[in-house]
Structure 1
């Protein structure tokens, strides 16, 4: 697949991370609802599996609801898959709304590079204002720690 992603700006989150699993396994973490519910979100949220919806095709839904562990705050995220090329590329145009966040038309682009028994994930998401960009980057870093814990057998 040819990379047609726009340039990264200071309004974007851009993270590259290697996971200790083959590409087809890591791809499943982003496309299978049961797995998404186990790792997605900052540490102070959980994602009930019944709130996760992934319709694995262009035009399909990609949605979930994070629930605050302490206060039950609901933080839904909903989008439409705009590119779907398993197990290499996933793109979603989404919105997210909660007490502190009100986002529309944010594009999430994720590339999965095959390195045998490891996978490099490159995430590019935006545009954001500075506060939402930083909160989103922190949330992704904590989420990725969740994937690492599952892969290491510690669960989350």
Structure 2
């Protein structure tokens, strides 16, 4: 269903922006995230220091949505209407911004989802009033950040998710995840140490940490940062290929000469500010298959993360 006539009002005399981004999941997962009020406020129109106040979604053609974030003294209110919903191929909506005593002209957003061999590609087309022509770079920057947040929040059946509330300010928790001298104090299960930790906190930057067990066995982990949005989220890859052979055998006893049966893991860290002294941490790990996720659950992944969070809480209270 669609409101094609409403599309036509944006033809001509508009500024247009097109952005494409690839995702490692099927189109339906990415499509559904745009209509999920449970997670939408974490990434759509969210800013680093803003506090989301209202997220409302009436997911039908002609239905409306509202995403309102408190930004200092200003309530940044985004209100829109769904014009076309064709799951999982296309989603079209209009929206306006209300804040600081202003209301922007309505603009049109067209989302096209195309399946690829490894997931899907999203093409976002934003048509806005011609007066925004000089702001296109800023608009592109905004959408790029939004799509990074979307990538961190898409949920699939291949994911492992764990959540913990920590008695510490969100800024402090973010630093604990991104500063080597802090990360080494809590990363890993009880009684593990981290003799090596290197972090290049930039988009595409590398991270490398070596966990050492009480018996002296090293468990190196490396990867790169895909998205950094202080102090709300991190998105990064994890490569455990340098782990001991015995660990790989537990992941897949039939691995043969496969040096890394776990494959590349994508980790999202989401930090929600509960109040000035409390933070909710959500960690989402995406594996190449449900079988790999289940294997790591069996060999203690959940217990390991729980112990890491215990150590993090103790560090914050020290």
Q: For each residue in 1:42-61, what CA deviation from the matched residue of structure 2 results, as whole angstroms up to 9, or x when unmatched?
A: 1142111xx11111111001
Matches within 5 A, 1:1-156: 1-2=43-44, 3-4=149-150, 5-9=153-157, 11-48=158-195, 51-69=196-214, 71-96=215-240, 97-98=243-244, 99-101=246-248, 102=260, 103-115=262-274, 116-127=276-287, 128-134=292-298, 135-153=300-318
The SS at the match of 2:154 is: coil
Greater mean alpha carbon deviation, residues 90-99 or residues 24-33: 90-99
Inter-partner Cα distance in structure 1 for 2:221 and 2:306: 18
Higher deviation after alignment, 71-80 or 93-102: 93-102
Post-superposition shift, 1:126? 2.1
Secondary structure at the aligned position of 1:16 is classed as: strand
Q: Is the 8 Å Cα contact of residues 91 and 107 (structure 1) preserved in structure 2?
A: yes
Alignment check: 8 A CA contact 2:160 2:293 kept: no
Q: Which runs of 5+ in 1 are unaligned?
A: none
Distance in 1 of aligned mates of 2:178 and 2:308:
15
TM-score when normalising by structure 1: 0.88
- The separation in 2 between residues aligned to 1:126 and 1:132, in whole angstroms, is 12
What CA distance in whole angstroms lies between the structure 1 residues aligned with 2:293 and 2:283?
17
> In structure 1, what is the Cα distance between the partners aligned to 2:191 and 2:277?
31
Higher mean alpha-carbon deviation, 29-38 vs 97-106, is at 97-106
Cα deviation for residue 148 of structure 1 reads 1.1
Q: Between the two structures, name the one with larger relative contact order (CA 8 Å, sep ≥ 6).
A: 1
Deviations 1:46-101 (A, max 9, x none): 111xx1111111100111001111x2111000000001111111011111123314
CA RMSD of superposed structures (Å): 1.5
- Detail structure 1 runs of 4+ shifted over 4 Å in the superposition: none
Show CA shifts across 1:99-121 (max 9, x none). 31443310000011112211111
Counting matched residue pairs gives 149
